[in-house]
């Protein structure tokens, strides 16, 4: 009898301990949500995160505060989220760096992109275009390939930095076309783009989030775009596939991650409200301004895309011998 009483008491104690946690998850969200952006304030990732966060706030019914944690190729922000409590109140913007590149660029990471996060959902993706200064003698991709093959190593290309999507896009291009161009890394997209516009460096892969208006204004000339099909904002620019550079789809993408072990109902709620936000007029307009394509879908679809990109880019990074440590 005493044993039965003791077991009943323990069961009741366990239930009372679990009840607040279960209740907290049932009425999620009931407090402020922190959205980590692993880049400085004011950049494209930050602006998009704030726009999406505001749209999600309206359906979640809770404030979302952006917390900028730049540095170490987004690893500082990634570690902050990977080690956070898995309760749905800390999430982050993650892009190619954490999702596909860093596990290959660094010998050791403070987290595993595959195992230490909950994949919530995709936000957007946007292609990169191969652009040249308007005075560059190659006017088409065919002419560009002929020129760089006739001048191996003599043509420089700019990028925002080692290991950036722009850098790795050109490494993939070089691999697929068997060409050799010399890399000139800059500290950020703005100075790299400025020197291509100024003619100091003849070419680069430019992301449309930064460079759509620059291309449309004629300050640089786009030879080809790294999307699967032509895009509405640049209808006259052929894809890399169209001009004979096969298997070279190059795009930047981003989505939301949470810490490993987010409760299923929390992940589902965040995913549902993210998908609603992606259809909101403010977010649609922002993406149009940035030349982006929304990536609505399930957590499983976002994870599958990220892991497929990690495999694809891992092969490119290994072949190019790129390391950041």
**Residue 218: is its pLDDT beyond 70?**
yes
pLDDT for residue 12: 53
Q: What mean pLDDT comes out for the span 189-203?
A: 95
> Which CATH number, 3.10.310.30, 3.40.50.2020, 3.40.190.10, 1.10.443.10, labels domain 127-225?
3.40.190.10
Strand partners, 256: 93, 121
The strand pair at 293-294 and 33-37 is best described as unpaired
Question: What's the token pair of residue 309?
Answer: 């990109």
- Count of alpha carbons within 13 Å of 277, Cβ hemisphere only? 28
pLDDT for residue 187: 87
CA distance 18 to 93: 31
The widest CA-to-CA distance across the chain, in whole angstroms, is 94
pLDDT for residue 21: 46
The segment(s) of the chain belonging to CATH 3.40.190.150 are 8-125+253-320
pLDDT tier for residue 209 given thresholds of 50, 70 and 90: confident
Which residues fall within 8 angstroms of residue 303, CB to CB, at 6 or more apart?
119
Q: What is the pTM of this model?
A: 0.86
Q: What is the mean pLDDT of the chain?
A: 92
Asked if 301 and 126 touch (Cβ cutoff 8 Å), the reply is: no
**Residue 259: is its pLDDT beyond 90?**
yes
pLDDT tier for residue 2 given thresholds of 50, 70 and 90: low
pLDDT, tens digit, 9 for 90 and up, residues 76-119: 999 999 999 999 999 999 999 999 999 999 999 999 999 999 99
pLDDT, tens digit, 9 for 90 and up, residues 231-257: 988 999 999 999 999 889 999 999 999
The segment(s) of the chain belonging to CATH 3.40.190.10 are 127-225
Q: Which CATH architecture has domain 8-125+253-320?
A: 3-Layer(aba) Sandwich (3.40)
């Amino acid at each position: 009898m005493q044993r039965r009483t003791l077991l009943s008491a323990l069961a009741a104690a366990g239930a009372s301990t679990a009840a607040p946690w279960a209740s907290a998850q049932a009425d999620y969200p009931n407090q402020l949500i922190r959205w980590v952006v692993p880049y400085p304030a004011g950049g494209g990732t930050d602006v998009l995160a704030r726009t999406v966060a505001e749209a999600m706030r309206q359906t979640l019914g809770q404030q979302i505060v952006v917390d900028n944690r730049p540095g170490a190729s987004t690893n500082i922000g990634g570690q902050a989220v990977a080690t956070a409590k898995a309760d749905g109140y800390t999430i982050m913007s993650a892009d190619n760096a954490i999702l596909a590149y860093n596990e290959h660029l660094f010998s050791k990471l403070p987290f595993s992109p595959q195992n230490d996060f909950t994949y919530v959902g995709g936000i957007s993706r946007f292609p990169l275009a191969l652009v040249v200064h308007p005075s560059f003698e190659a006017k088409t991709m065919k002419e560009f390939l002929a020129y760089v093959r006739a001048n191996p190593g003599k043509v420089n290309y700019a990028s925002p930095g080692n290991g950036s999507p722009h850098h790795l896009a050109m490494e993939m291009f070089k691999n697929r076309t068997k060409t050799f161009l010399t890399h000139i890394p800059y500290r950020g997209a703005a100075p790299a783009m400025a020197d291509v516009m100024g003619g100091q460096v003849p070419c680069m892969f430019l992301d449309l989030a930064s460079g759509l208006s620059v291309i449309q204004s004629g300050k640089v000339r786009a030879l080809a775009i790294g999307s699967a099909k032509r895009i509405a904002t640049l209808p006259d620019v052929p894809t890399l596939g169209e001009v004979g550079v096969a298997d070279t789809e190059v795009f930047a993408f981003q989505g939301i991650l949470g810490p490993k072990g987010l409760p299923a109902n929390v992940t589902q709620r965040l995913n549902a409200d993210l998908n609603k936000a992606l259809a909101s007029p403010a977010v649609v307009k922002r993406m149009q301004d940035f030349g982006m394509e929304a990536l609505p879908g399930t957590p499983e679809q976002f994870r599958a895309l990220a892991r497929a990109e990690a495999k694809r880019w891992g092969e490119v990074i290994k072949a190019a011998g790129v390391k950041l440590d």
